[in-house]
Structure 1
Amino acid sequence: MLLSLLIVALLIFMTAFFVAAEFSIVKVRGARLDQLVLEGNRRASVAKKVIENLDDSLSASQFGITLAALGLGWIGADQIEGMIQPLVDRLNVSSSLATILSFLIAFLLIAFLHVVIGELVPKTLAVHEAERLTLLVARPLYFFTKLLYPFIHVLNGTARLTLRLFGVQTTAQETAHSEEELKIIMTESFRSGEINENELAYVQNIFSFDERIAKDAMVPRMNMVTIDEEDSIETIIATVQEHQYTRYPVTRDGDRDDVLGFINAKQLFTAQLVKSDAPFETFIHQLPLVTEFTPLQEAMVKMQNARTMMCLVIDEYGGTAGLLTIEDILEEIVGEIRDEFDRDEQAEITEVTPGHYRLSGLVLTQEIEERFGIEIEDDVDTIGGFVLSQKANARTGERFVLPGEHELIVREIDNHRVVFVDLILAHKDEIQPELD
């Protein structure tokens, strides 16, 4: 009786082992095993070999499960039935009924132990502790696969041949993830607390970075601060004091379509301090050119090659469309960058109250769609452009309805340029803002 119980227990343990191995090696992350291998974990090295030969490893696990199940059905049921038979005989029932009852009880008991102990428990444990169990089962599973490799090879070959008969072509296992899959992985990692909100935002911005063009990040032509080649040093000093930039485009006769290059204010003022007699033209540096539709990545490489921090953006007619700086490009990834001179600068998107946001007229409609889920179907790039497309002579206080019954209120206009607008999300508990 003791030997029979040991055999049954061994067969159930074998089932549990191979089930745990099957689920854990599928669930475990390959990148995590790579990290453990680099840290010198020997068990991880074996586990890596198991994962690299996943088809053979899964076939070995399934073969082990099948052998254990057959053993339980052949040996376990008979042994358990023999142990139960004397107990059933005490019920004073007919021999035929006693045989049937013994068989049913033995069958149900074996099935219960096989399903719960041999299948469900190891499966649940493998799903939640995939890494730990993979490291634990990898070595014995590796040797079991090697021991029965010829047989497993035949089984795998037969399975592939069967699939081909039904028109199913088997391909190599894919280990790489697509961009969308990586986004989903990062989002799930954020929800589980593995990464924080800033890290998630950085990754999402990097994925969308290659879709951005110079037009999306540039300083528009009308917002450019320039210096004319004929300006006096006093005028230049006053401009620098007012705007606190380091580099300024230099124009001819104040024409922003005729940009000669740019000057570095630090370099110019240093020369003034040492009373240099160098002409103003020597401080003008060449300004790289990109078009409105140049990808940001390409524009950044162009600035790096030219060793400059800015480039001029031109439109399809060859005129100046705006100015693009390295800081503008970095802000597309890490968000708005502020220094000690930006204290009075208002953020492009500011939450006034829950559901009430103040937006700069330069905020991209694409950014509004990504942040608020409001899709603005119009041939414009900015929210200020949307307002003007709806009404060219819009005035402060005018209201416009966005898709989804969201409301847009003009807050400030400067010479036909929309400076700020208010976005009121369509919620029942939303309080309408007071207009000045």
Structure 2
Amino acid sequence: MDIQQGLSLIAVAILIGLTAFFVASEFAIVKIRSTQLEPHLEAGKRSAKYAKRVTTHLDEYLSACQLGITITALGIGRLAEPTFEQMLHPFFEGVVPPAMVTTLAVVVSFSFATFLHVVIGELAPKTIAIQRAEQVTLLIARPLVWFYRLLYPFIWVLNGSARILIRLLGFKPMSEHEVTHSEEELRLIISDSYKGGEINQSEFKYVSKIFDFDNRLAKEIMVPRTEISAVSIEDSLDDNLAIMREEKFTRYPVVNGDKDNILGIVNVREVLTDIVSPAITEEIKLENYIRPVINVIESIPVNDLLVEMQKKQTHMAILFDEYGGTAGLITAEDIIEEIVGEIRDEFDVEEDPLIRTINEDHYLLDGKTLISDVNKLLHVELNEDEVDTIGGWVLTEKYDIEVGETMIFNDYAFTVKAFDGHQIKLVEVLKRSDEQDIEDHFQAYGTS
């Protein structure tokens, strides 16, 4: 090996190293999130300032990386193949026919140069940059900024030309819009993070529920009018205390006549505190404890209602329908449960979940189960334009349905198992294999 070949090998090694630098830079600055740099910025790391500049001017610095990769690749192609060919030529002389020596040396040298370029210059740094994006970005940011400044005129010309071209093709340059993730993309990212062990099951569940929470309407989670426990301004204090003793809630709507005329809410603690207080000598009247209550349309989004309840510092809201009548009520606890799940205290009666799984493709649904939840569970498309609950859907499809009757939708049989007054209390859902199996199954269940 002569001095010229040695210098060429050194130059090839440097070019492969520079290729690895630019490839790692490209993947790292795309992979890293700006929030990962905040702790380093707060700690005063100078490299973090360069990294922040790179990640906030992504278009320019990706162009710098691409220019660097192109230059080094051209240099490797110019030096590596002829250098390796000269070094291999003597080894093939006398081993293969003279006519094939040059051809074989060129093929082997080209293959070896390509192998080094792809493996060392691209694949290895790409993998490292993806797995260690934060560390790599902090390491490469300063020299990448210097390279960008050094070749700024060329990068500016190339970027400008590229912007003109992509505008002609109908696309927007990266610098003209913010790179964001859609809700569906975020759901997939969270799901992948959970599967990869980056977040636990509780974190995955809470974040998923927040997405659903944002789409919920108040009427979907309210206590319906028929189930509201209220006290009346017209009844005696003893009668109202009897209701409070039986129901064991903290707050009650106060009605004047019927539930369409709600005066406000009363806090049981305030009433009982004065009853047992020796300082209170005058007659205790319920109207003295009534506090204002929020009245909102039942179609208000839950997140908007929560903001309003926080602003008014109240734990309960009354929902009215389009005709002005009381549709139901909703509490702060109802809203919080949409994110964290069921919250029970020492007075809560144990209730069956809205959806009970008997076995695969066999469920018992509470009549108040939302149609949207049923659609997700069964992967069907029940119409939810007119009603919100599975009980309401069944009655909409067949208003005179009776206990034990079955309705077929797609591959599922819906059987009414119980009524509570005029409200469907329980619906059984079973995926049918064929008509005879379904008939045999429901005959075995009877009409209880």
TM-score with structure 2 setting the length: 0.86
The match for 2:138 among 122, 132, 135 is 135
Instruction: Look up the match of 1:382.
Output: 389
CA contact (8 A) 2:237 2:285 kept: no
Using the TM superposition, give the Cα deviation of residue 224 of structure 1 relative to its aligned residue in structure 2, in angstroms. 1.0
Supply the AA of the counterpart residue of 1:360: D
Post-superposition Cα deviations, 1:181-222, rounded to whole Å, max 9, x if no partner, equal: 323322222222222333233323323334322211211111
Supply the AA of the counterpart residue of 1:93: P
Using the TM superposition, give the Cα deviation of residue 365 of structure 1 relative to its aligned residue in structure 2, in angstroms. 0.8
- Larger displacement relative to structure 2 (291-300 or 424-433): 424-433
TM-score with structure 1 setting the length: 0.88
The match for 2:407 among 395, 400, 404 is 400
Query: Do residues 391 (structure 1) and 395 (structure 2) align?
Result: no
Using the TM superposition, give the Cα deviation of residue 22 of structure 1 relative to its aligned residue in structure 2, in angstroms. 1.8
Using the TM superposition, give the Cα deviation of residue 223 of structure 1 relative to its aligned residue in structure 2, in angstroms. 0.7
The match for 1:108 among 101, 107, 111 is 111
Post-superposition Cα deviations, 1:308-333, rounded to whole Å, max 9, x if no partner, equal: 22122222222221122222222222
Query: Do residues 273 (structure 1) and 276 (structure 2) align?
Result: yes
Looking at structure 2, the residues matched to 351 and 92 of structure 1 have their Cα atoms a distance apart, in angstroms, of: 75
Post-superposition Cα deviations, 1:264-292, rounded to whole Å, max 9, x if no partner, equal: 22212222223542433212223321122
Instruction: Look up the match of 2:220.
Output: 216
What secondary structure does 2:296 align onto? strand
The 1:167–1:314 alpha-carbon spacing in structure 2 relative to 1, beyond 3 Å, is: closer
Query: Do residues 148 (structure 1) and 151 (structure 2) align?
Result: yes
The 1:213–1:158 alpha-carbon spacing in structure 2 relative to 1, beyond 3 Å, is: closer
What secondary structure does 1:80 align onto? helix
Looking at structure 1, the residues matched to 368 and 416 of structure 2 have their Cα atoms a distance apart, in angstroms, of: 13
Looking at structure 2, the residues matched to 342 and 427 of structure 1 have their Cα atoms a distance apart, in angstroms, of: 40
Using the TM superposition, give the Cα deviation of residue 14 of structure 1 relative to its aligned residue in structure 2, in angstroms. 2.0
What secondary structure does 1:260 align onto? strand
Q: How does 1:334-373 map to 2 (within 5 A)?
A: 334-373=340-379
The 1:434–1:71 alpha-carbon spacing in structure 2 relative to 1, beyond 3 Å, is: same
Looking at structure 1, the residues matched to 211 and 381 of structure 2 have their Cα atoms a distance apart, in angstroms, of: 20
Supply the AA of the counterpart residue of 2:388: D
What secondary structure does 1:277 align onto? coil
Looking at structure 2, the residues matched to 354 and 105 of structure 1 have their Cα atoms a distance apart, in angstroms, of: 60
Instruction: Look up the match of 2:338.
Output: 332
Using the TM superposition, give the Cα deviation of residue 92 of structure 1 relative to its aligned residue in structure 2, in angstroms. 6.6
Post-superposition Cα deviations, 1:52-88, rounded to whole Å, max 9, x if no partner, equal: 2222322222222222222223222222222122222
The 1:397–1:84 alpha-carbon spacing in structure 2 relative to 1, beyond 3 Å, is: same
The match for 1:56 among 50, 55, 60 is 60
What secondary structure does 2:215 align onto? coil
Instruction: Look up the match of 1:88.
Output: 92
Q: Percent identity?
A: 43
CA contact (8 A) 1:393 1:416 kept: no
Supply the AA of the counterpart residue of 1:391: K
Supply the AA of the counterpart residue of 2:369: V
Name structure 2 gaps, 5 residues minimum.
Answer: none
The match for 2:312 among 306, 314, 326 is 306
Query: Do residues 170 (structure 1) and 180 (structure 2) align?
Result: no
Instruction: Look up the match of 1:258.
Output: 261
Instruction: Look up the match of 1:67.
Output: 71
CA contact (8 A) 2:21 2:125 kept: yes
Supply the AA of the counterpart residue of 1:384: G
Using the TM superposition, give the Cα deviation of residue 416 of structure 1 relative to its aligned residue in structure 2, in angstroms. 1.8
Aligned length: 433
Looking at structure 2, the residues matched to 407 and 92 of structure 1 have their Cα atoms a distance apart, in angstroms, of: 78
Instruction: Look up the match of 1:21.
Output: 25
Using the TM superposition, give the Cα deviation of residue 252 of structure 1 relative to its aligned residue in structure 2, in angstroms. 2.5
Supply the AA of the counterpart residue of 2:269: K
Using the TM superposition, give the Cα deviation of residue 244 of structure 1 relative to its aligned residue in structure 2, in angstroms. 0.9
Name structure 1 gaps, 5 residues minimum.
Answer: none
The 1:236–1:314 alpha-carbon spacing in structure 2 relative to 1, beyond 3 Å, is: same
Instruction: Look up the match of 1:235.
Output: 239
Supply the AA of the counterpart residue of 2:380: I
What secondary structure does 1:267 align onto? helix
